[in-house]
Amino acid sequence: MRAHAALAVLAVVLLALPWFAGSYALSVATLILYFAYTGQAWNVMMGFAGQLSLGHAVYVGVGGYAAGALFFHYGVGPWAGLWLAILLCVALGLVIGFLAFRFGISGVYFALLTIAFAEFTRIGFDHLDWLGGPGGMFLKVAQRDSIDLLNFRGPPAMYYYAILALTAGAFALCFLLLKSRAGYYWQAIRENEEAAQALGINTFRWKMLAVAISSAMTAVSGVFFAFYYNNLFPEQIFHISRSIEIILGPIIGGVGTLFGPILGAVVLTVLSDGITEGLAALGWEIPGIKQVFYGIVLLAVIMFLPNGIWPALARRLGLHK
Amino acid sequence: MNLLTVEKLSKSFRGLKAVSNASFTIPEGSINALIGPNGAGKTTIFNMVAGVFPPDSGSIVYQGKPIHGLRPDQVCAAGIGRTFQIVKPFAGLSVLDNVVVGALLRSKDVSAAKSYAAEIMERLGLGAKRDMPASSLTLPDRKRLEVARALATRPQLLLLDEMMAGLRPTECDQMVEVFRGLNRSDGLTILLIEHVMRAVMALAQHIGVLHHGEVIARGTPAEIVRDPAVLECYLGEETEV
């Protein structure tokens, strides 16, 4: 009951945020939700099905470029581009999944394969002049005070609501998935694949399903990224640091939990921006010091809460995961 | 009628003949044991029946259909459940959810699977532990969980791999009662691979003895303990336990 009340209050605050938050707070909130959503997508593969992807940036990049290119070259809005993005990312995910699962590549080797795909996609995009090559692709920025839903152009609040809806939708989807047959099968595969197979589970098929859903969800965050930031560079969007950024939230928050990716995104984004602000206020301008603080906090969380923040918090609040 | 017919099964690993020309049948509704010293090929036969790897030659026919070469999940779907010698619980899930995973094979609906899983857990005496994490169970309970999970897939044939290993004699006797009950009331056919002669003698109606990958004797427990070939290679020293 108390949990429901807390969720209701949170929902009201989130919905009303653009009315009282300044533009900086709104952009931080948008960033938090972006990482919460993308982390949730990654969590389907790793947290639920136990397949460690360290190259999820590839889906953000391919999704972003797909919708971005349709808009840039042909003026086709993201509502159509979204489907192309999902189609391409799912196809790519299934190729990676097929190669790995058919030939028994698992664990760290699977993770290496996902890095390899992200890396050579990055190098490939560097040489695709049609998409701007290393110089990047820039989407036309229309005036930001009117809302053009068809082309997904508008003020920051519009993007905030869009990513809020996506995050809520992803949460609901994952909630349902986890309670479904797929959720049980994924967790069985995650815990012990051999035992799962002995119970009649076609592990190949169910792992492929996890990859398909995760890559489709991540494709959407790529489209959001493209239209929110309006610029795409292969060196940035496909970079391994982006992949790491995506997975830090769920790891800090709690892998395999529903609230973990959201909580992790809040903690990491607030921490990152907080450190920047704090150092600026102190007048410290030592290069790299932000990363040092960030690293220390990550280290502390991993040492003291190896399962992430949410499981410990849920225990304290007397909730189930 | 024979539920399972194994004929002229052979398997080598890098030139080492693990199983050669092994044949045996398992009548429907019976309890059978495969025994033999370490390295006799018991687990290799077990794994071939369970679909872990295919035989080099020979056939495994279940309910009139060949199953050699099927994957483990297909073997399970065909109606053969198995347990693991080294128990493999889904440690992060609750005891109930472990069993639900098995039950979902036949009932796609999660709530139906849950109630069936709960039913099976009651029968195996795990009912009180349903909400505990599987990782917190003791070894006898983990073994029970292996059985419960396999039973949840509604098999006609249950393969038990060294079920009694690591159990104390009283725990072993309890297990024997569980399998007797399942065989008697559900008509479940059982094939066990076992070292613990106490359990084999108490349970099995038919015993096959493996030695160096070959079946050297088949018969009832009474016949097996008198077979000179068996006594020589294996049983003589073991029956004193």
pLDDT per position as a tens digit, B133-165: 999 999 999 999 999 999 999 999 999 998 888
Q: Which residue of B has its CA nearest to A201?
A: B73
| Chain A residues within 8 A of B104 when measuring between CB atoms | 181, 184-185
How much is the mean pLDDT over chain A?
92
Q: Which of A179, A187, A198 sits opposite B76 (nearest CB)?
A: A198
Distance from CA of B171 to the nearest CA of A (A): 24
> pLDDT value at position A321?
42
How much is the mean pLDDT over chain B?
91
CB contact under 8 A, A192 and B102: no
- Judge whether residue A184 has pLDDT over 90: yes
Residue with the larger pLDDT of the pair B8 and A151: B8
**How big is the A-B interface in CB pairs under 8 Å?**
74
Cβ proximity of B190 and B178 under 8 Å: no
Architecture of domain B1-79+161-171+209-234: 3-Layer(aba) Sandwich (3.40)
**Residues belonging to chain A with any Cβ–Cβ distance to chain B shorter than 8 Å:** 179-181, 184-185, 187-188, 190-192, 194-203, 256
The ipTM estimated for the assembled molecules is: 0.91
Strand order of the β-sheet with B2-13 is: B16-27, B2-13, B57-62, B65-66
Interface probe for B, chosen from A176, A199, A206 (most Cβ of B below 10 Å), is: A199
- Judge whether residue B193 has pLDDT over 50: yes
| Chain B residues within 8 A of A197 when measuring between CB atoms | 71-73, 76
User: Predicted confidence band at B235 (pLDDT cuts at 50, 70, 90)?
Assistant: low
Residues in CB range of A163: below 8 A, 6 or more apart: A30, A33, A34, A37, A224, A228
> pLDDT value at position A301?
86
- Over residues A234-285, the pLDDT tens digits come to 999 999 999 999 999 999 999 999 999 999 999 999 988 888 888 888 887 7
Ordered by start, the domain boundaries in chain B are 1-79+161-171+209-234, 86-155
Give me A280's structure tokens: 């600026």
Residues in CB range of A109: below 8 A, 6 or more apart: A100
Q: How many angstroms separate the CA atoms of B124 and B85, rounded?
A: 18
Q: Which residue of B has its CA nearest to A180?
A: B110
Altogether, the residues listed in chain A come to a count of 321
Q: Which of A188, A200, A203 sits opposite B90 (nearest CB)?
A: A188
